[in-house]
């Protein structure tokens, strides 16, 4: 491979990185619409950088071959991208109240790096089809189709409760509406005989937040736990 070959193909390399950016943006838009930590910019950068590293891995050592030096393994840089991008996913995944969050977004970043590598290698059809598959899966699994319907994670805060056995009765009432309680936090007030309850729940039915609030006679608020 000569330097002239490398220079003459710069336009092709630029195109690969641009297509990788577009695919990363497409996946990032879906994540941004769901208010996830990693959105458009993160996915775009991961895809573009992965494509760049693949291009460098395949074509960046032409001068070594010309000087008769030992030829390096062209797959080494690409393989390090797959494992190295894990630090981004590790920064997104966290556990709160026995619930794991950010796992899907972390997996998406890892997949986006793979798409960038494919496009950097010139495998346009593979990278674009992989992007379409990921998007279809994301939108389908988040749809209201009963087969793919996922439970909604919510945090129910109930304040100024002065009722004995409230946790048990509230848990049974929520369960009767197909709302499963994962955890309960209780904060008792020192200046009164009341307490504040926080229920971490999974909602499997189509009940709305307003309908949940109306189940309780006490002051109640419902927030997303995702």
How confident is the model over 137-180, as pLDDT tens digits? 777 766 666 555 667 778 899 988 888 889 999 999 999 888 88
Q: In total, how many domains does the chain have?
A: 2
Bin 160: left if φ > 0, else alpha if -120 < ψ < 50, else beta: left
- Of 81, 78, 88, the closest CA to residue 122 belongs to 78
Give tens-digit pLDDT for 175-224: 988 888 988 989 888 777 889 999 988 887 778 888 888 888 888 888 87
Same domain, 126 and 24: yes
Helix (H, G, I), strand (E, B) or coil at 77: helix
CA atoms within 13 A on the CB side of 159: 4
Domain encompassing residue 36? 3-147
One domain, residues 100 and 159: no
Residues 58 and 136 both lie in one domain:
yes
| % of the chain residues with pLDDT over 90 | 7
Do residues 8 and 116 share a domain? yes
Please tell me the distance from the alpha carbon of residue 153 to that of residue 182, in angstroms, as a whole number.
10
Give residue 103's pLDDT.
72
Task: Considering only residues 7 and 75, tell me which one the structure prediction assigns the higher pLDDT.
Answer: 75
The domain that contains 174 carries what CATH number? Answer: 3.30.70.260
Q: Are residues 107 and 36 in the same domain?
A: yes
- Please tell me the pTM assigned to this model: 0.55
Tell whether 167 and 210 lie within a shared domain: yes
Counting residues of the chain whose pLDDT is more than 70, the rounded percentage is 77
Q: Which of 116, 5, 135, 97 is nearest to 51 (CA)?
A: 116
């Amino acid at each position: 491979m000569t330097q002239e070959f490398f220079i003459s193909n710069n336009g092709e390399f630029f195109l690969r990185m641009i297509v990788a950016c577009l695919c990363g943006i497409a996946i990032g838009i879906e994540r941004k619409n769901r208010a996830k930590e990693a959105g458009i910019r993160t996915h775009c950068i991961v895809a573009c950088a992965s494509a760049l590293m693949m291009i460098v891995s395949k074509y960046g050592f032409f001068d070594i071959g010309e000087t008769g030096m030992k030829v390096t393994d062209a797959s080494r840089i690409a393989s390090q991208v797959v494992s190295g991008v894990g630090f981004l996913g590790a920064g997104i995944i966290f556990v709160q109240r026995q619930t794991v969050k950010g796992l899907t977004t972390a997996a998406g970043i890892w997949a986006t790096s793979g798409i960038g590598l494919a496009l950097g290698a010139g495998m346009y059809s593979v990278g674009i089809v992989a992007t379409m598959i990921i998007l279809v899966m994301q939108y389908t699994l988040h749809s209201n189709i009963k087969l793919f319907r996922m439970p909604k994670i919510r945090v129910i805060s109930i304040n100024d409760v002065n009722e004995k056995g409230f946790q048990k009765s509230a848990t049974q009432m929520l369960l009767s509406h197909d709302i499963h309680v994962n955890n309960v936090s209780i904060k008792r007030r020192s200046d009164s005989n009341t307490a504040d309850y926080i229920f971490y729940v999974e909602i499997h039915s189509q009940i709305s937040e307003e309908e949940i609030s109306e189940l309780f006679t006490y002051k109640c608020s419902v927030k997303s736990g995702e």
